[in-house]
Structure 1
Amino acid sequence: MPNISLVMIVKDESNHLNTCLESVKEYVNEIIIVDTGSTDHTIEIAKTHGAAVYEYTWTNDFAAARNFALSKSTSDWNLILDADEQVTSWDKDKVNKLLQTDRFIGKINIKSNFKQNNEERYSQIYISRLLPKGAYYSGKIHEQVMSKLPRVELPIDVFHTGYFQTDKSERNLIILKEELSKNPKNAYILYQLARQYKTMNLYQEAAHFFKESYQTADRSEEYFTDLAVNYIYTLVELKQYYPAFEIIDQMNVPLGNSPDYQFVCGIFYMNFVLSDTAKNIDFLPLIERSYLICLALGNQNEREIVLGTGSFLAAYNLGVYYEMFNQKEKAKEFYEISAAYHYLPAKSRLLTL
C-alpha cells in the first residue's frame, strides 16, 4: 500500500478544517498542517485529528509555504488540500494501483460553487494535487507544480466552497500585481489577474489583462479554454462585440468541441442581435445553433468547465429562445430536458406554458 500524507497550509480555518479532515482521514497515513498565524481554534482542531502541526511566518508566498509543508512529509506521496475543500469520492483500489506502478503528478477533480446571474452554479477542473515526494511548487499565488513528470487524472473528487463564501480579492490582487511586476509577459499570471478583476466586476481591467494573456498564451495550456471563454464573457459585458467577434472567429476550430465555448457563443449572439435587432437580425439563427451544439457535445460527454453548459443550461436557453418566438411545443421540449436535471428556472417556465 502506498503511503500518502495530507499536506495543508491553513490560517483561521476553524469553520472548515474539521469537515475537511473528516472527509480525507481514511485515505491518508499522515496529516501535516502548517499554520500561518491562526488566532482561532484551527490548531486545536488539527491536533484532535492527530496532525503534526508546524508554525510558519506568512510571507505572501503560497509556493514557499506549501514547499515548507511538503518538506515535513515522511510519505512517498502527498495530497494537497485547502481547509475549505472536502473529499467527496475516492476510488481506493484504482488510486492505489496507479500509485504503486509509476511516478506521476496526480490530478484530482475539484468542483466549486459560485454565483452567476443570481444563481448558484458549479464549475469543475482537474488540478495537480497528488504529488510524489520531491515535487514542489512555484508562484506566489495560484502556485503551480514544477515537474516534468506526466500528469494523470485520478478518480478523486473534491468539493470546494471557498470562492462562494469568502472574498479574498484584495489579498489576491496585491500578490498577483507583485508577481506580474517580476514577470510582465507571463500569460498565466495575466490570466489569473484578469479572472480576479472579472470576479470583482471590474470588466475594463479584466478585458485589458485577458487581451494581454490571450495574445501571449500557449493554446495547448490547460487554462486556455477558460481564458478564451471568460475573455468573450467580459467583452459581452462591455458591449464590445466586434473584438469578441474576432476571438470567436479565431476559436471556432480550436475550441469547437468545448460546451463552455459554444455556450458563450450563444450568449454573445443573443446580446449582439438584441443590441441592434434590425441591423443584426441575420445572426439570430446562430443563437439556436450554438445551444444545439452544446447539447450535442454534452451527449458526447465532452467535458464542461461550468456544469450544465452541455446539458440543462443550454436546454433552458433554447427553451427561452423558442418561447420568445411563440414556438411553445419546442420550448416545452427543451424546458423538460432542463427540468430533468432539477433546474428550477426550467420547472418554473413549464408552469406558465
Structure 2
Amino acid sequence: MLPTAHRPSSPRPSSSRIAATLIVRNEERCLARCLDSVAPFVDRMVVLDTGSTDGTVAIAKAAGAEVHHLAWPDDFAEARNHVLACADADWNLMLDADEWISAGGEDLRRWCSGPPRLGAVCIENSVDGSAHPTRSWLPRLLPRGAYYEGRVHEQVISSLPRANTPIHVGHDGYLSAQKARKIDRNYRLLERELAAQPDNPYLLFQLGMEAQARRDLPTACDYLERALATAPRDAGWRHPLVTSAMTLMTYMGRRDEALALADAEFPHWPQSPDYFYVLGDILFDRALADPAQAIGHWLPLAQVAWERCLAIGERPDLDGSVAGRGSYLAQQSLDIVRSQLATLAA
C-alpha cells in the first residue's frame, strides 16, 4: 500500500487546473515531441527526471516544463505517484516521453469540465514490420486523488468509474530500436512482482507479452495460458490476452489448442473483428495442414470468419485491437481465401 504521505491529496473544489505529468530518464530522442504535442492543451507540464545523463532535463526546461528529480526507485508506481504529488493538479494527463498527442487534445478541457472519472485514452502502438498500430485503452487522464500501484505495468487505483476520452496518443516505444533498453528491466521487475503475487493473472499476462517480445515463445505461451485460467471475464485486457494467446498457439503449431481456445471464447466476442480475424488465421492454417479437408471444411470456415470481420467493422474502442482487422486486412485475407477456393474447385 502506498504510504499516505506520498499519495495525491483528496479531491477539493478548484478551477480544474490540468497538468501533463511525465517520468523520464535519458529521453532526449523524443521528449520535445511529446511536450510540444501537449503544451497547447494543459496549464502546466511537470517532468520527474529519475537520473538522466543526456540532454533530457535541458530539453524539458526549454519546452516550458518544470522539472523535479528523484533517484530511480525501481518502482514505476512510486515514481508516478511522486510526480502526481509534485503536480498537485485537479486533472493529470499521464504521458510517457515516447508518446505524443495525435488527436483530441482540443477536447481535453471540455472533458475535464465534467464529473470526476478515470479518463481512458487510446494509445496507438507502432509495431515493427507493420503499418497497422495496435490500440490500447488505458486510464491516463486522472482526477486528483487517483494513484498507482504496481512495480511495473502499474495500474490506477480509484473507486471512480472509467470512461473513454476523445484523446489519441501515438507511441513508438515498442519499436525494436527503443524497446531493447527496456525489455530486460521490465521483465525483471515483473518477475519480482509475480514472486509476491504468483497467481495474479494481470502479471502473468504482462510477463507473457514480455516473453514474446524476447522471442521466448514457449515461456510466453505458458504465462498466457496461466493468465487465461483466472483472468476476470470483464477485465479490459482480457481481449488482447485471448487474441494474443490464439495467435501465439497457432504460430507455434499448436493448432488443436488454438482452435479449442477459440471455441471456448466464441460466445464472448460476437462484436470483435480482432477475434474473428485471428480465428480466420487459425482456420486457414488448419487448411494448409489438412489439404484433404481444406476446400470442404477449413477454407469456407475461414471465409465466414473474415466476412464476419467486415460485417462488424473497425472497433478502435476495444483494448488490444489492431487497425484494419475490421476492414482492409480482413478484405485482403478474404480475397486470398476466395482465390484458394476458386483454384481448388477448378
- Alignment TM-score > 0.5, same fold: yes
Displacement of 1:26 in angstroms is: 0.8
Q: Partner amino acid for 2:158? A: S
Residue 290 of structure 1 aligns with which residue?
Answer: 305
Task: State how 1:105-184 maps to structure 2 within 5 Å.
Answer: 105-115=118-128, 118-164=129-175, 165-167=177-179, 168-184=182-198
Aligned residues: 325
* Contact 2:100–2:169 under 8 Å retained in 1: yes
**Bigger CA drift: 188-197 or 280-289?**
280-289
Give the SS at the match of 1:113.
Answer: strand
Residue 238 of structure 1 aligns with which residue?
Answer: 252
Identify which of 30, 36, 41 aligns with 1:22: 36
Give me the TM-score of the superposition, normalised by structure 1. 0.88
Residue 209 of structure 1 aligns with which residue?
Answer: 223
Q: Structure 1 residues 301, 53: CA separation in 2 closer, same or farther (over 3 Å shift)?
A: closer
> C-alpha distance in 2, partners of 1:198/1:267?
19
> C-alpha distance in 2, partners of 1:237/1:99?
44
Displacement of 1:322 in angstroms is: 1.9
Displacement of 1:155 in angstroms is: 1.0
Displacement of 1:277 in angstroms is: 1.7
* Contact 1:258–1:302 under 8 Å retained in 2: no
Question: Which of the pair has the greater relative contact order for Cα pairs under 8 Å at 6+ separation?
Answer: 2
Q: Partner amino acid for 2:254? A: Q
> C-alpha distance in 2, partners of 1:13/1:89?
22
Displacement of 1:301 in angstroms is: 8.0
Give the SS at the match of 1:130.
Answer: strand
Q: Structure 1 residues 305, 265: CA separation in 2 closer, same or farther (over 3 Å shift)?
A: same
Task: State how 1:1-353 maps to structure 2 within 5 Å.
Answer: 2-90=16-104, 92=106, 94-115=107-128, 118-164=129-175, 165-167=177-179, 168-278=182-292, 282-298=297-313, 303=318, 305-326=321-342
> C-alpha distance in 2, partners of 1:50/1:201?
40
Displacement of 1:21 in angstroms is: 0.6
> C-alpha distance in 1, partners of 2:37/2:174?
19
Q: Partner amino acid for 2:307? A: L
Please give the per-residue CA displacement for 1:176-212, whole angstroms capped at 9, x wherever unaligned: 1111101000000000001111222221111100110
> C-alpha distance in 2, partners of 1:31/1:284?
54
* Contact 1:10–1:35 under 8 Å retained in 2: yes
Give me the TM-score of the superposition, normalised by structure 2. 0.89
> C-alpha distance in 2, partners of 1:177/1:314?
37
Displacement of 1:279 in angstroms is: 5.3
* Contact 1:257–1:302 under 8 Å retained in 2: no
5+ residue gaps in structure 1?
Answer: 328-353
Please give the per-residue CA displacement for 1:131-187, whole angstroms capped at 9, x wherever unaligned: 111110001111110001011111111111110141222111111111110100000
> C-alpha distance in 1, partners of 2:260/2:185?
34
Q: Partner amino acid for 1:130? A: L
Displacement of 1:82 in angstroms is: 0.4
> C-alpha distance in 2, partners of 1:161/1:212?
29
Displacement of 1:96 in angstroms is: 2.7
Please give the per-residue CA displacement for 1:209-247, whole angstroms capped at 9, x wherever unaligned: 011000010010000011011001111011111211221
Displacement of 1:49 in angstroms is: 2.1
Please give the per-residue CA displacement for 1:76-96, whole angstroms capped at 9, x wherever unaligned: 11110000111112253x543
Q: Structure 1 residues 256, 201: CA separation in 2 closer, same or farther (over 3 Å shift)?
A: farther
Let me know the Cα RMSD of the aligned residues: 1.9
**Bigger CA drift: 12-21 or 160-169?**
160-169
Q: Partner amino acid for 1:305? A: S
> C-alpha distance in 2, partners of 1:119/1:163?
12
* Contact 1:4–1:77 under 8 Å retained in 2: yes
Residue 331 of structure 1 aligns with which residue?
Answer: none
* Contact 1:43–1:53 under 8 Å retained in 2: yes
Give the SS at the match of 1:141.
Answer: coil
> C-alpha distance in 1, partners of 2:340/2:32?
49
Q: Structure 1 residues 112, 297: CA separation in 2 closer, same or farther (over 3 Å shift)?
A: same
* Contact 1:89–1:157 under 8 Å retained in 2: yes
> C-alpha distance in 2, partners of 1:13/1:59?
18
Percent identity for Structure 1 against Structure 2: 33
